[in-house]
Amino acid sequence: MSNSYKIAVLPGDGIGPEVCAEAVRVLQTISELFKHDFQFHHALCGGAAYTEHKNHLPQSTIDLVKQCDAVLFGSVGGPTDAQEDPKWKDAEKNCILGLRKNFNLAVNIRPAKIYSMLPDLSPLKPTIVQAGVDMVIVRELISGIYFGEHSTKDGVARDVMIYSEEEIRVPVKFAFETARNRSKRLTVVDKANVLDCSRLWRKVTKEVAASYPDVAFDFMYIDNAVMQLIKNPSQFDVIVTGNMFGDILSDAASVLPGSLGLMPSASLGEKIHLFEPIGGSAPDIAGKGIANPIAQILSGALLLRYSFKMEKEAALIEKAVNAVLESGLRTGDLTRDRSNVVGSKAMGDAIVHQIQTLYRA
């Protein structure tokens, strides 16, 4: 690979542009220090694209992504009570689901951990927090009930869940690989007491498991899993699950560190990968410059790790984020004490400065 990399930046709506700007600054800092040539190409998507093009995912945005090496995505969508406004109606379905499907982003990685310097942020008891939490949720991203037939007719709505063996095998195999490189434990979350799709997940899991005799795996129902995630989170290391269950489970997991603003993700495709926070456009705080940019910045670190194989650079960003949190700096979502609260830009500044300091040390 040459030293030149094209990154598509799709900030989207709400807090997306505010937090993406900080992540881009961090990536620019890395490119200067390590002498990489990162070129950033911005494009509209979501409600922002609708205003310009009457389309949540314009062809020009798809074409730009096709020419790039990785995608940094912010968030899309409007206030949850404005979903009937044409600007917002189906914005998420058309835009982020469209990108996932278009670029075959079948495997979604959502890490969740408790930060030792933020013990009070987690609503869980200190005994649970001290047991430590460091897990990865692997979510199937381009099938299941999200992409089955949807219809409403004569007062009856239908959303169909479909899974093929191959659609299951891809994320399950990835999860076994991930578990092999971590603590060799995997939990498969499903609803096999009710759903045929879940029974197929179990069959495929057992087939894939034959190639991973060193990985111990078990099955857990989704309702129990959400409860266990809060009650005894340290029991989990790698979790793999379908599209809908992964969506719910990963927001539940954000309760462990204490804020969605700390939760990055990577969505892996065959040709290109996309990186985004797991949270949304946060209309309640958008435009105020107070959103936590850390989830977006950590998504940038995942971009370097998974798309460009720049482990040293990715780890440096993660170390800098830890050091800044260690120093006591907080965005509003990270503290109830208002004394040390900063906005998105000041948090970005501190992380950039910390990267420079750690690099030179």
Ligand X SMILES: NC(=O)c1ccc[n+]([C@@H]2O[C@H](COP(=O)([O-])OP(=O)(O)OC[C@H]3O[C@@H](n4cnc5c(N)ncnc54)[C@H](O)[C@@H]3O)[C@@H](O)[C@H]2O)c1
Please indicate whether residue 251 is annotated as part of the active site.
yes
Among the listed ranges 102-110, 155-163, 204-212, 273-281, the one in contact with ligand X (CB under 6 A) is 273-281
State the residue number with the nearest CB to ligand IPM. 92
Catalytically annotated residue among 120, 223, 284, 337? 223
Between 20 and 197, CB nearer to ligand X? 20
Residues from 318 through 347 that contact ligand X (CB under 6 A): 333
Phi and psi at 341, nearest 5°, equal: -90, 130
Chosen from ligand IPM, Mg ion, ligand X, none, partner binding at 120 (C-beta under 5 to 8 Å by type) = none
Report the phi/psi class of residue 36: left, alpha or beta, with left for phi > 0 and alpha for psi in -120 to 50: beta
Residues 6+ away with beta carbon under 8 Å from 324: 347, 350, 351, 354
Q: Name all contacts of 306-310 with Cβ < 8 Å and 24+ positions apart.
A: 306/109, 306/266, 306/268, 306/273, 306/275, 307/69, 307/70, 307/272, 307/273, 307/275, 308/1, 308/5, 308/36, 308/69, 308/70, 310/30, 310/34, 310/36
Q: Using the rule CB under 6 A, which residue among 279, 299, 304, 330 binds ligand X? A: 279
What mask, x for binding ligand X by CB under 6 A, covers residues 166 to 185? Answer: --------------------
Exactly one of 93, 251, 306, 349 is catalytic; name it: 251
* Residue 188 host element (H or E): strand 185-190
Are 254 and 262 in contact by the 8 Å Cβ rule? The answer is: yes
- Position 247 contacts Mg ion (CB under 5 A): yes
End-to-end CA distance of the chain: 28
- 349 noted as active-site residue: no
Q: Which of 50, 146, 190, 333 is catalytic?
A: 146
Q: How many residues bind Mg ion (CB under 5 A)?
A: 1
Other Cβ atoms closer than 10 A to 218: 8
Q: How far apart are CA 338 and CA 290, in angstroms?
A: 13
Cβ distance to ligand IPM smaller for residue 77 or 257: 77
Alpha helical stretches, state H, 185-340: 196-209, 222-231, 243-253, 294-306, 311-326
Q: Which is nearer to ligand IPM, 88 or 217 (CB)?
A: 88
Q: How far apart are CB 57 and ligand X at their closest, in Å?
A: 12
**Which position among 29, 281, 299, 354 is part of the footprint of ligand X (CB under 6 A)?**
281
Taking residue 149's Cβ as centre, other Cβ atoms within 10 Å add up to: 10
Residue 261 engages ligand X in binding (rule: CB under 6 A): yes
Using CB under 6 A, list all residues that contact ligand IPM: 77, 92, 96-97, 247, 278, 280
CB distance 321 to 50 below 8 Å: no
Q: Please identify, using beta-carbon distances, which residue of 278 and 350 lies nearer to ligand IPM.
A: 278
- Min. distance of Cβ 23 from ligand IPM in angstroms? 17
Exposed e or buried b per residue across 258-287, where buried means at least 16 C-beta atoms within 10 angstroms of its C-beta: bbbbbbbbbbbbeebbbbbbbbbbbbebbe
Interacting partner of 282 out of Mg ion, ligand IPM, ligand X, none (Cβ under 5 to 8 A depending on kind): ligand X
Helix axes of 311-326 and 344-360: crossing angle, nearest 10 degrees: 120
Query: Rule CB under 6 A: which of 21-80 touch ligand X?
Result: 75-78, 80
Whether 223 is catalytic is yes
Q: Which does 291 bind (CB under 5 to 8 A by kind): ligand IPM, ligand X, Mg ion, none?
A: ligand X
Q: Residue 97 or 272: which CB sits closer to ligand IPM?
A: 97
d(CA 62, CA 241): 28
Question: By CB under 5 A, is residue 276 in contact with Mg ion?
Answer: no
Per CB under 6 A, residues contacting ligand X are 15, 19, 75-78, 80, 92, 96, 260-261, 276, 279-285, 291-292, 295, 333
**Which residue numbers are catalytic?**
146, 191, 223, 247, 251
